[in-house]
Amino acid sequence: MAHPKHKISKQRRNKRRTHYKATKKTLAKCSNCGATVQYHRVCSECGYYRGQLAIEKVEL
């Protein structure tokens, strides 16, 4: 079995292990109220998802 001649730092090791690129989250407009919503999530403004009421909003 081979032995390393030099210690590989944690930073260098972790850089080698990354296989992704950071990307922005994909946003869409809510079909009910027009607010900006992340894909596949319930609208935080009105509680609708894909045109149907998913969470009933309570007015305080």
User: What pLDDT was estimated at residue 2?
Assistant: 84
pTM of the model: 0.57
Residues paired with 28 in a beta bridge:
37
Per-residue pLDDT, averaged over 1-23, amounts to 89
**CA 17, CA 5: separation in Å to the nearest integer?**
20
The count of other CB atoms within 10 Å of the CB of residue 42 is: 16
| Contact call for residues 57 and 46 (beta carbons, < 8 A) | yes
CB 43 within 8 A of CB 55: no
Domain segments of the chain as ranges: 25-60
Convert the pLDDT of each residue in 29-45 to its tens digit. 999 999 999 999 999 99
